[in-house]
Amino acid sequence: MNGKLIDGREIGKQIREEIKERVEGLKAKGYTPGLAVIIVGDDQASHTYVKNKQKSSVEVGMKSELIKLPATVTEEELLAEIDKLNHDDTIHGILVQLPLPKHIDENRVILAIDAKKDVDGFHPENVGKMMIGQPTFLPCTPYGIIKLLERTNTPIQGKHAVVIGRSNIVGKPMGQLLLQRDATVTYCHSRTADLAKYTTQADIVIVAVGRAKMINETHIKEGAVVIDVGMNRDEFGKLCGDVDFDRVKEKASAITPVPGGVGPMTITMLLKNTLLSAEAVYANQK
Ligand code: NDP
């Protein structure tokens, strides 16, 4: 393989070790960071994500609270649970696992979370702060990708980054964070007329679409850095990304695998945001 593997498992592990040390520091002062996760319904994939988030938070020494609600829960009942957590001093991060059942308005739910505990970085107040470069909770997946690039000493400044996908949780904030680090950013999406025309000019390609192996070597410039956010199943039911890894790895200078690339970083940055939240509360109480 020409392309260097960007090992999200290993980088995530290192960052979680650093988080653990800081959690221990807070605990020594009698203060335990707490993360609450609310899950609605019984979607299997969501339950797996939530279980991993809980397990990781416990591993770094945080208090972890899981609130399971049935798919039939009303919006008002869910909002009441969030309100309780907003006022719970032992909880510094609140996450509502998405997607929610259709009868619940996701926007209302996100707005109900205290912006100071919005460790997913989805609250419009935090999104606005991110846009204007003020300190805030950064959305975990793009934040994790920035860490992958930083920890592999991948230059960003002056580079051309192409982001494929413009969702509010991945694509859009990803482009913003790269822009803040002085990349020249191009967004592509489902209506982009000639995708390869843009991606073949990119030094850094971030793919966040959700279509198995849609990006191959014809889309990539020799030596590009390729970050694959996608989580899909291939024709054999095996987990795979949006990038055809085997076809791109020889051409890329560095590439993330799926699994083991972006995924572990998303959870890690959730823990980081929870830690930052707890540290901010503690700093204000001193
Ligand atoms: P969304 O479905 O919200 O967004 C997908 C984006 O891809 C849209 O902007 C869409 O364009 C664009 N798109 C769709 N088809 C094409 C195409 N043919 N060419 C170019 N662009 C296209 O997805 P998310 O952003 O939430 O997630 C993307 C992927 O990343 C999914 O596989 C998801 O599972 C994964 N994911 C992984 C995470 C991790 O931790 N590893 C975390 C979050 C997501 P348009 O706006 O025009 O519709």
For range 1-17, the mean pLDDT? 92
pTM: 0.97
Write down the pLDDT at residue 285. Answer: 80
* Confidence (pLDDT) at 1: 59
User: Which tens digit of pLDDT belongs to each residue from 210-257?
Assistant: 999 999 999 999 999 999 999 999 999 999 999 999 999 999 999 999
pLDDT in tens, 65-113: 999 999 999 999 999 999 999 999 999 999 999 999 999 999 999 999 9
Residue 169 token pair: 């949780």
Written out in words, the top-level CATH class of the domain with range 30-114 is alpha beta
Confidence label for 2 from pLDDT (cuts 50, 70 and 90): low
Q: CB of 231 closer than 6 A to ligand 1?
A: yes
Q: Is the pLDDT of residue 6 over 90?
A: yes
Q: Which atom of ligand 1 is nearest to the CA of 266?
A: 40
**Centroid of ligand 1 to alpha carbon of 201 (angstroms):** 21
Give the number of residues written for the chain.
286
Ligand 1 neighbour 97 (Cβ under 6 A)? no
Judge whether 272 and 142 are in contact, CB under 8 Å.
Answer: no
Which atom of ligand 1 is nearest the CA belonging to 258? 41
Name the H helices within the chain: 8-28, 44-59, 75-86, 106-112, 124-131, 140-151, 171-180, 195-199, 245-248, 262-285
CATH topology of domain 140-262: Rossmann fold (3.40.50)
Q: Does the Cβ of 199 fall within 6 Å of ligand 1?
A: no
- d(CA 169, ligand 1 centre) in Å: 9
| Dist. CA 129–CA 110, nearest whole Å | 16
- Partnered with residue 188 across adjacent β-strands are 164
30-114 and 140-262: identical CATH topology = yes
For residue 32, count CB atoms less than 10 angstroms from its CB and return exposed for 0-12, middle for 13-18, buried for 19 or more: middle
Structure tokens at 104: 């619940």
Kindly list the domain boundaries of the chain, sorted by start residue: 30-114, 140-262
47 three-state secondary structure: helix
The label of the residue with tokens 């992958």 reads 148
Distances (CA, A) of 139 to 128, 188, 195: 12, 20, 26
d(CA 129, CA 132): 5
Q: In what order do the strands lie in the sheet with 254-255?
A: 4-5, 254-255, 225-228, 204-207, 160-164, 184-188
The sign one gets for the Cα dihedral 110, 131, 254, 228 is positive
Residue 120 is among the residues annotated as catalytic for this protein = yes
Rounded to the nearest angstrom, the distance between the alpha carbon of 231 and the centre of ligand 1 is 9
- pLDDT at residue 284, rounded to an integer: 81
Beta bridge partners of 40: 69
Neighbour-count burial of 245, counting CB atoms closer than 10 A to its CB (0-12 exposed, 13-18 middle, 19+ buried): buried
Average pLDDT of the residues in 16-35: 97
The ligand 1 atom nearest the CA atom of 171: 25
Catalytic site residue 201?
Answer: no
Distance 195 CA to ligand 1 centre (A): 15
Q: Are 79 and 109 in contact (CB under 8 A)?
A: yes
| Identity of the amino acid at 83 | D
| For residues 39-58, average pLDDT | 95
pLDDT in tens, 123-172: 999 999 999 999 999 999 999 999 999 999 999 999 999 999 999 999 99
Is the CB–ligand 1 distance for residue 167 below 6 Å? yes
How far apart, in Å, are the Cα atoms of 115 and each of 18, 75, 174, 196, 277?
Answer: 25, 19, 20, 39, 10
Q: Which atom of ligand 1 is nearest to the CA of 242?
A: 32
